[in-house]
């Protein structure tokens, strides 16, 4: 009986296997940056759409109320330290809710507008306000998965922001054309001709003391007050609340963190969080508002900013700082355009 010839079994040699693994590793190395770039492009687009939605909401609010939403409301207002502020009735994030398809949420918040009520803290404690709203978050910021924060701030312009760390740590104060005193005294000559210094942290109800489009205490500001032009005045921008005093707050609360200042350069990072920050690392301290309360993002090279006309632009972190101040200030009489 004839037996069939035995077929030799084929197998990879060790060298062939190593070559195959090397090829796969090279392909992964080539594809991974492309995947990451595509993911970041999608995140930037979502972030841009969020800013456009918020800018449109502000225009709708303006049509209904003949003013922009208040940057924040304390009713009645108190102008002490953060610890002394009470009767918190919400930042601009609360007042735009009816104009971003969240009217039902706005209506369940009790006693908005009633004096001597700590409206928002009480509503948060009662579980009436959610910790997150998708249109208030940028997907590129990895610090916020479960934190009740927002990545967007209303433009406070070149507003003075003297910090608790002392004048030596207020390295950007001169861009508001004022000193670190209270109130800020005018610099002579000014660093950027065209506007006088405003109040520190924007703690005022006087719109004339606010350089941008929002004040944290809610002074009445209209689109028409952007006399430098709606197409070259900032309205909103990205920020990183995890690198500022807002990291322990809530997106619905009023406070200076809702209205970043342009005196701080774009993407100036403050990632020191220990309580000894004023002595150990004052120029990186998250609670040094002179440094921490600026526009910044996790996007490489800059941040996205919305203009008063509703358009959104990616602004490079290396933008000329004087140009940046004039984009932030609504009425300096020296209009500029984004490069």
Q: pLDDT (tens digit, 9 = 90+) per residue, 258-289?
A: 999 999 999 999 999 999 999 999 999 999 99
What is the residue-averaged pLDDT of the chain? Answer: 91
CA–CA separation, 121 vs 129, rounded Å? 10
Asked if 170 and 180 touch (Cβ cutoff 8 Å), the reply is: yes
Of 315, 272, 265, 318, nearest in space to 293 by CA: 265
Cα gap 180→173, rounded to integer Å: 7
Q: What is the pLDDT of residue 185?
A: 97
Query: Any residues with CB less than 8 A from the CB of 133 and at least 6 apart, and which?
Result: 102, 150, 251
pLDDT score of 35 more than 60: no
For CA atoms 198, 202, 207, 210, the dihedral sign is: positive
Q: What percent of the chain has pLDDT over 70?
A: 92
Q: How confident is the model at residue 2 (pLDDT cuts 50, 70, 90)?
A: low
Identify the band that residue 22 occupies on the pLDDT scale cut at 50, 70 and 90: confident
**Picking from 39-53, 98-112, 160-174, 315-329, which range would have the lowest pLDDT averaged per residue?**
39-53
CA-to-CA separations, 306 to 29, 33, 120, 213, in angstroms, rounded: 36, 28, 27, 12
Q: Residue 121 pLDDT > 60, yes or no? A: yes
Half-sphere exposure of 318 (CA within 13 A, CB side): 2
CB 150 within 8 A of CB 251: yes
In this model, does residue 1 exceed pLDDT 80?
Answer: no
For residue 41, name the pLDDT band (cuts at 50, 70, 90). confident
Higher pLDDT: 304 or 13? It is: 304
pLDDT at 32 over 70: no
Cβ pair 157, 328 in contact under 8 A = yes
- Output the pLDDT for position 33: 63
Contact 241, 150 (CB under 8 A): yes
Q: pLDDT tens digits for 127-142?
A: 999 999 999 999 999 8
CB neighbours of residue 339 within 10 Å: 10
What gap in Å lies between CA 274 and CA 166, rounded to an integer? 17
Mean per-residue pLDDT, 329-335: 94
pLDDT of 8 > 60? The answer is no
Mean pLDDT calculated for residue range 188-199: 97
> Domain-by-domain residue ranges, the chain?
38-69+148-328
> 56-66, pLDDT tens digit by residue?
999 999 999 99
Comparing CA positions, the residue from 309, 330, 312 lying closest to residue 228 is: 330
Before 40, cis peptide (omega within 30)?
Answer: no
Give yes or no for a contact between 228 and 334, defined as CB atoms under 8 angstroms apart: yes
Q: Does the pLDDT at position 165 exceed 90?
A: yes
Alpha helix locations (H) across the chain?
A: 14-65, 92-95, 103-108, 119-125, 277-280, 289-292, 321-328
Decide which of 265 and 33 is more confident: 265
**Could you give the 3-state DSSP secondary structure of residue 232?**
helix
**What tens digit of pLDDT does each residue of 59-98 get?**
999 999 999 999 999 998 877 655 556 899 999 999 999 9
* pTM to 2 decimal places: 0.87
């Amino acid at each position: 009986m004839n037996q069939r010839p035995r077929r030799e079994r084929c197998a990879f040699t060790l060298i062939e296997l190593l070559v195959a693994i090397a090829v796969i590793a090279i392909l992964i190395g080539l594809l991974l940056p492309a995947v990451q770039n595509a993911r970041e492009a999608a995140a930037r687009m979502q972030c841009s759409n969020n800013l456009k939605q918020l800018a449109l909401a502000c225009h709708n609010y303006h049509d209904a109320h003949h003013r922009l939403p208040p940057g924040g409301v304390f009713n009645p207002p108190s102008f002490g330290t953060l610890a002394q502020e009470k009767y918190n009735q919400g930042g601009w994030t609360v007042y735009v809710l009816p104009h971003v398809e969240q009217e039902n949420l706005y209506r369940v918040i009790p006693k908005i507008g009633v004096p001597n009520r700590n409206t928002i803290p009480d509503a948060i404690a009662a579980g009436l306000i959610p910790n997150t709203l998708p249109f208030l978050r940028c997907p590129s910021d990895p610090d916020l998965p479960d934190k009740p924060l927002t990545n967007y701030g209303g433009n406070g312009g070149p507003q003075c922001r003297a910090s608790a760390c002392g004048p030596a740590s207020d390295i950007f104060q001169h861009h508001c054309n004022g000193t670190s005193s209270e109130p800020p005294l005018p610099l002579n000559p000014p660093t950027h001709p065209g506007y006088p210094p405003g109040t520190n942290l924007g703690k005022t109800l006087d719109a004339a003391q606010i350089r941008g489009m929002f004040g944290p205490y809610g002074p009445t500001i209209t689109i028409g007050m952007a006399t430098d032009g709606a197409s070259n005045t900032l309205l909103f921008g990205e920020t990183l609340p995890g690198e500022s005093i807002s990291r322990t707050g809530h997106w619905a609360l009023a406070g200076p963190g809702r209205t970043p200042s342009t005196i701080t350069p774009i993407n100036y990072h403050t990632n020191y969080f220990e309580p000894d920050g004023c002595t150990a690392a004052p120029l990186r301290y998250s609670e040094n508002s002179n440094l921490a309360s600026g526009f910044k993002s996790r996007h490489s090279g800059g941040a996205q900013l919305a203009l008063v006309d509703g358009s959104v632009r990616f602004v490079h972190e290396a933008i000329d700082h004087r140009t940046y101040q004039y984009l932030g200030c609504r009425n300096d009489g020296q209009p500029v355009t984004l490069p």
